[in-house]
Structure 1
Amino acid sequence: MSHLLIKNAKIVNEGRISDADVLIQGERIEKIADFISPPIDCEVLDASGKYLLPGMIDDQVHFREPGVTYKGDIYTESRAAVAGGITSYMEMPNVKPPTLTIEALEDKFALAGQKSIANYSFYMGASNDNLEQIKRLDKNQACGVKVFMGASTGNMLVDNIQALEGIFREAPSIVVTHCEDSPTILANEAKYRAEYGEQIPVMYHPEIRSREACLKSSTLAVGLARQFGTQLHVLHLTTADELSLFTPGPVSGKQITLEACVHHLFFSSDDYARLGNQIKCNPAIKSLTDREALLRAVNEDIIDIIATDHAPHTWEEKQAESYFNAPAGLPLVQHALPSLLEHYHNGIFTLERIVQKVCHNVAERYKIADRGYLREGYFADMVLVDLHKPFTVTRNNILYKCGWSPFEHYQFRSSIDTTLVNGRIVYREGQIQEPGVTGQRLAFSR
């Protein structure tokens, strides 16, 4: 069929909810109107009682390819992403080998072109000694330049102030930062190791990856951006303390923007007793007070974007007895949008607000071409959600390669009904449609 017609949808788009039909031809939206008669060569999808949203654009994932594919890979994790209503993603450079050269960056694009069900882009990584590679980067070649300003693996930690200044001064596109201060973290580790040895209870993780470590590093990042006029996007903020560094208002026109992640909006330090290492991540999930402050900051437009920081590890790795051997990170893409819809059901976020933070603002901040909205002429990336059909997470319906989720046994009040990527149905009523490689390289108009 050359046309697909979605009938009777409640469209959530650009700050309003309206009843409309959507006609798709090929990869793009041809028409949005109150009533559309189906063309002759047309498949019709009845969306009565359901809400049609632009597909979520996740600006922070770790899909583990190349080099760590026993945890996840581009195919398996993009498959899980579309089942969760995520139609585009931006993937991080801390793989093996790390994405620290133009050549390594383009190698990842080539891999995704063979494997990805969702649309994709990749970050160029920063190190203490790859400034010349960053300077070679075309402003539209990658989604951005990722700087780990806190403890990271391999050669990815940038802790030399001259290197940081060079990156913030010379980066041709948006700089995104992981903000934690390594000396503060190392001092905290030594303190708790002196008391507990290797068996530090995971409940102390937010004390080790402390609010002081976060605030010190994010203050430095914001200061450097102001000094050099850098386009800066601070990732996965976790503390109320840091919010004062950022300004409220529309994302358009901001030089410095801010992201929160779904797990920091859903869990709190109270959940370590129940979930343990399953929710160990960097930066750490912190107090209930911090979580409530983050939720308010989303509504106040201090936090501009919501993402996942999807970071799968095997179940066996997460069961490590030593605090130091249990890796940080959790799988999230399949359940991110349902978790945000829980905040809608709880009266915290409106549907329009969710769409703003996971679709519109991501497209605006990164200047993604023709995506992030339901508009005529735009790519037909969209998700149909059923707000009245509960969905319980079980081992049998988890699609991550690692096979587990911190949401296991949780019953979400909403479910993902259908996901379209570039006009093709890739997920419908609980089943991946296995359409082959449907994802495309994201294009930017900077």
Structure 2
Amino acid sequence: MDGTRRSRLDWLDVLRAVAALVVVFDHASATFLPEFRRELMPNFNTSRYGITVFFLVSGYIIPASLERRGCVRGFWTGRILRLYPLWALAVGAVLVLDLAGVTRTRGGPSAVAVAVAHLTLLQELLGTPGLLLVLWTLSYEMAFYLLVVALFTLRRHRRSATVAVTLAVGAALGALTGGGLPVSALAGLVGTGPLIAAAAAVLAVSVCAASAGPPALRVAGGVLGGLLALALVAFDSTVPQWESLVILAVMFLGTAVHRAEHGQSSRRAAVCAAAVVVLCAVGSAWWYGDGHYFTRRGWITAFLLALLTFAAGFAARRRRILRGPAALGVISYSVYLLHPVLLTAVDGTIGRQRRDEPLLLVAFLAVLLPLCALTYRWIEAPGQAWGRRPARRAPAVPQPPGRASDSHSRSSSRSER
């Protein structure tokens, strides 16, 4: 692999490493650094910073993966084998801790409904609290995948800037009208169990139809999935409606940056989209804030710094990068999913500290990072390898002409999260 292509992977890996470590710090500080956390959080929401960087990276690279494959079936196969093996390990570990009495999972619908909701990865958009506190972001990832597939099957996938602007304006309108609907509004209207059953059925039909069959069926399947994603994000999110729409707007903003870089759209469109997303997100957060200035300031500061972090990484994408941060980014999915499992075990045994104990945080990281290296080696990497096999066999779908080169698409595929 030449130096240019390698650098394209490294800068994304570094951003993933930064995001993962900040999210780990956010959650671990509640256990090991309670005093410092109380001082920091009103001014800087570390969790929102980390996940915003993650969402920007996903938005930048995921649609490129689908378009490189030119095959919805290959895309879904790759995503399933990328996400589910480690997800199964993390969820299984939490259930074992629950059975052992170390911790107690949150209550909610019946066990069957909870299981089905989690299998769709949409549980946080179905009125079902996640068994792990980080799983809620995967629900938005899944909603984004469904929307990306819908746009791809309709051949509107290069209008990322327009989609980002539309979602951002929708968020602002929701904030101006009082934040939009209550959280989990659909679940409250029809019931959590029926909503989970209906969403699971629609998701299965959508993925299967969009992945096989005649062109009209593929389009219908893609559109069905996109409508499901929009309905759940707009009407059944567990965060305020405006923030739910901002999350998707941020992801499509990452896509718009990728398109502008590779000549699939103008740079002016990406810059205008970024300006609208920032204005609408910050304005919505300020307008809809809970009345506490510092809480608003913490969210807005984190959001703006996340965008600046992504911009800095993008600007330095062709520079030589140290191998350590990039290597940490490679295992970032393991770091992201497994750190709450370890924290659950710590909280259920030695308990949360009342005073700052930085050495315990260092010891926690010393256990976490080698464990994540092992899970990447034996769980993540094999899943990714298997996920790439069907994509090589699937026939490509002709794409509209553009100025992006095939080498850009190939290098992008290697850096999927």
Question: For this structure pair, what is the TM-score category when the shorter chain's length is used for normalisation?
Answer: under 0.3
**TM-score, normalized by length of structure 2?**
0.27
Q: Going by fraction, where is helix more abundant, 1 or 2?
A: 2
TM-score between the two structures when normalised by the length of structure 1: 0.26
Larger RCO, structure (CA 8 Å, separation 6 or more): 2
- Which structure has the highest strand share of the two? 1
